Amino acid sequence: MREEFGVVQAATLTLLGLIIGFSFSMALSRYDQRKNYEEAEANAIGTEYVRADLVPAADAAKVRALLANYLDQRVSFYAARDEQQILRINARTAELQAELWSAVRVAAVAQPGPVIALAVEGMNDVLNSQGYTQAAWWNRIPIAAWALMAAIAVCSNVLLDLTMRNDKKGLAMLLVLPLVVSIAFLLIADIDSPRGGLIRVIPQNLLSLSQSLHTP
């Protein structure tokens, strides 16, 4: 019975390690995805800022001013943590997107052509990049996966307790597995959370672009 119990315990601990590893991989891939979309968003805004020269001068000045304001809102989106502030940023972002599209649409209707089409295409990339970023921030590890990991972790600790209950020297070992599993869960949750925790996506590309646009 002891040998069979040891097989079950080893299998449970192995399964726990595999699930923690897969969950860490899922969280890390989502973190990398958020970083990639931040870079893509900065590139789209910077490209459209340059393509503003393709529209008439009056519309170009308006587009640049709106893009500079829009860029500030995108930087604030990454730094915000308060729910009410996030709602205000999203509302303002939606207003600026409507104004940006209206600005290039007026120029495209007034002077249709392949040159203006480049500006329209660039603006479309700016608007799409924000949607991709938002979708990546919503894409997190499912609650069911967390529940499964917690259940297997509890079972692993129970099996370990049954093994070392009568061993006084092994009582200290009972604290090691819960501590290690808790640290692993904390790391996964930190990486998986876009706003909470210590590991977050810093909008380095957006900040660099904002600095270059505001530098005379």
Contact 107/116 with Cβ under 8 angstroms? Answer: yes
Taking alpha carbons only, the member of 126, 118, 117 closest to residue 93 is: 126
Token pair recorded at residue 51:
């393509």
The model's pLDDT over 177-216, given as tens digits with 9 standing for 90+, comes to 888 888 999 999 999 988 877 888 889 999 999 888 877 6
Domain count, the chain: 1
Gap between the Cα atoms of 48 and 15, Å rounded: 49
Q: Give me the torsion for CA of 28, 33, 35, 40, rounded to 10°.
A: 170
Taking alpha carbons only, the member of 25, 2, 52 closest to residue 187 is: 25
Question: What is the structure's pLDDT at 172?
Answer: 65
Question: Which residues 6+ apart lie within 8 Å of 110 measured at CB?
Answer: 56
Lowest mean pLDDT, pick from 10-19, 116-125, 166-175: 166-175
Range of the domain at 7: 2-214
Q: Answer with the residue of higher pLDDT: 91 or 55.
A: 91
Region at 197 (left for phi over 0; alpha for psi -120 to 50; beta for the rest): left
The model's pLDDT over 107-154, given as tens digits with 9 standing for 90+, comes to 777 777 788 888 888 889 999 999 999 999 998 888 888 998 899 888
**Tokens 């020297």 belong to which residue?**
169
Question: What is the structure's pLDDT at 5?
Answer: 72
The model's pLDDT over 72-94, given as tens digits with 9 standing for 90+, comes to 999 999 988 888 998 999 999 99
**pTM of the full structure:** 0.82
Residue 53 has pLDDT above 90, yes or no: no
Up-side HSE of residue 209: CA atoms within 13 Å toward CB?
27
